[in-house]
Amino acid sequence: MSWLVTGGAGYIGAHVVRVMAESGEDVVVYDDLSTGSADRVPSGVPLVVGSVLDRELLEKTIRDHSVTGVVHIAAKKQVGESVELPLHYYRENVTGLQTLLEAMTATGVSRIVFSSSAAVYGMPDVDLVTEDTPCAPMSPYGETKLVGEWLIAAAARAHGLRAISLRYFNVAGAAAPELSDGGVFNLVPMVFERLEAGEAPHIFGDDYATPDGTCVRDYIHVQDIASAHQAAAARLNEAPEGTSLILNIGRGEGSSVREVVERILKVTDNEDRTPDVTARRAGDPARVVASADRIREELGWTARLDLDDMIDSAWQGWRHRHG
C-alpha cells in the first residue's frame, strides 16, 4: 500500500503522515503549502507541491508513486472566513474533492479516508452527538464538509470506492513542538496569545445552561486524531467495495471553556490572572460532545490522551514557535 496524504504538510496532516510513516506505510505528501510547511514533512517522505484542483498533477502523482489509497485532509477550515468567502470555500473544499475523486477513479485508486468535521452538526441539542444526530451546519465551511461526505458516499456506491469519513471534534496539542499548530484560531492558542501580550484571556459568555455557565466541548489530542486516521486506513485495506462509513473522532468527554482556561493559566504560571467574561458569540452552542462508541466498535480505536496532555504539549509547541 502507498498512501497519498493531501494537506500532509499542515498541522493535522503532518501528524497523520508521521504516524503512518512510522508504522511502515509508504506515504506521499501532496500540499499547496498555503498554510502548511515543507519543514513538517519527515525526511524520506516525498512532497509534491500542488493544488487539489489540478487533476493532471494529481493523476501524475498517483501514477508516479503507485498510490493505492488517499487520506484527504487538504481543505480551507476557518469558519469565519468561510462566511466571508463562501465561493472560495466551496471551490477548494467541494470542487477540490470532486477533482481528487475524478483522479482516483481515472487511476484505479479505490480507498479514501476523508477528514470531515463536527461542524456538520451545527447546534445539536443532545447530551452526546452520535453519527445519527441530524446535521444542520451553520457555516459554509460546515456545509462543504457535509457535501463532501455526500459526494464520497455517492462515489462509493457508483464506483465501488471504499471510504471512511472522520468527523473531528475540537483538536488541540502536538506530538512534538515542531509539529504544533501555527494558527491562532482555536481556544488554546488564543489564550496563549492573550497571555503573551500581557492581557487576560476572553471567555465568551458565562450564562449557558452548563455546570459553570461556559460552553462545553469535546477536546481531542491531535496525536489521537492521527492514530484514528491510521486505524481507518488499515480498515480500508480489508473493506469490501462500496464501504462508506462515517465516524466521530472524540473522547466522549466534555470540558468547559472555563476549565480549559484555568488549566492553561496553571500550566503557564498565570494563576493570578482573571479571565475577562464578554458577551456570547453568535452561533456558539452550549454543549457539543461526541459519542465515540461507533469508532471503537468499527475500528477498535479509542483516544489515549487527555486535556492535560493537550495543553502541556500545545504550550511546549507555542514556546518553540514564539521563543
Q: Which residues are catalytic?
A: 141
The rounded Cα 317 to chain-centroid distance in angstroms is: 18
Distance, first Cα to last Cα, the chain: 40
Distance CA 191, CA 201 (A): 5
C-alpha grid cell for residue 313? 504539549
What the block records as the C-alpha cell of 223 is 496525536
For 60, 172, 176, 304, the CA distances from 190, given in Å and listed in that order, are: 40, 12, 19, 25
Cβ neighbours, 10 Å, residue 99: 17
Locate all alpha helices (DSSP H) within 53-123, ordered by sequence: 55-64, 79-84, 86-89, 96-107
Residue 124 to residues 240, 247, 254, Cα–Cα distance (Å): 32, 17, 14
